[in-house]
């Protein structure tokens, strides 16, 4: 019998989050979709349901702790547990530091860190009680490297890597696996309003990141991949 999982995917309206939701649905996971764009999230919800799994749709902001706590509480009441949390919601404003402002800094901190904190805090007690679970944070190679225009965005992703590594050490005794996936450039809406314009045919696709998520989850519980870097093979 195929193991059924209850999996939360944040930022599921499009891009990497959508790709992860669809890929995990093909693995038989019941998918809890979180996002802010109602029209886009409803479309993803329909696509996931076609794959024969249960879905729930939660429209709101990852930065709002009340929304996150109430939504996760409803999931646990309905399904009894959360097996996997995919912290994918994120955003980036790529500017040189001298051209940045405090509002942009706070916005990136809120989405890239505070949102991760809210969801992780909401699921962790249930995972500890069940002595199992996976928390996968979608970070970036910007969390390990430096580049011009990445001063603030990179700082949030470096912080996310520190959070992920420390949390992994704190909860592994409960058979909870915490991992980071660090993609290079991915062909999503991320680059629409950016000055950086990679060759979209050569960079990664959302499904490439989704395969890394599946790899981490499908390992035997005794094994943990704590970090995966994914780069375009030949981006130029």
Catalytic residue, chosen from 79, 114, 153, 174, is 153
153 in active site:
yes
Six-digit token string for 80: 């009894």
Beta bridge partners of 7: 31, 84
Query: Which DSSP symbol is given to 95?
Result: B
Of 148, 145, 127, 155, the C-alpha closest to 184 is 145
3-state secondary structure of 150: strand
Q: Are 111 and 91 in contact (CB under 8 A)?
A: yes
Beta bridge partners of 150: 95
d(CA 42, CA 31): 13
Query: Which DSSP symbol is given to 31?
Result: E
Q: Are 122 and 46 in contact (CB under 8 A)?
A: no
Q: What is the 3-state secondary structure (H, E, C) of 51-67?
A: CCCCEEEEECCCCCHHH
Q: Which residues are the active-site residues? A: 153
């Amino acid at each position: 019998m195929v193991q059924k999982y209850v999996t939360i995917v944040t930022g599921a309206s499009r891009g990497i989050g959508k790709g992860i939701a669809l890929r995990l649905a093909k693995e038989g996971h019941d998918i809890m979709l979180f996002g802010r764009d109602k029209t886009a999230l409803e479309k993803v919800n329909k696509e996931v349901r076609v794959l024969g799994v249960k879905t729930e749709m939660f429209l709101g902001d990852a930065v709002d702790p009340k929304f996150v706590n109430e939504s996760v509480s409803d999931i646990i009441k309905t399904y009894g547990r959360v097996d996997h949390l995919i912290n994918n919601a994120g955003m980036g404003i790529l500017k040189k530091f001298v051209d940045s402002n405090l509002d942009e800094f706070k916005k990136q901190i809120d989405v890239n860190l505070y949102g991760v904190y809210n969801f992780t805090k909401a699921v962790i007690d249930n995972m500890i009680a069940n002595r199992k679970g996976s928390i996968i944070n979608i970070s970036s190679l910007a969390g390990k490297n430096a580049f011009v225009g990445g001063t603030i965005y990179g700082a949030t992703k470096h912080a996310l890597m520190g959070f992920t590594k420390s949390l992994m050490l704190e909860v592994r005794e409960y058979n909870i696996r915490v991992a980071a996936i660090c993609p290079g450039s991915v062909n999503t809406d991320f680059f629409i309003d950016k000055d950086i314009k990679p060759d979209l045919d050569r960079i990664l696709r959302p499904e490439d990141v989704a395969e890394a998520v599946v790899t981490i989850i499908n390992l035997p519980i005794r094994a943990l991949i704590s970090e995966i870097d994914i780069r375009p093979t030949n981006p130029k």
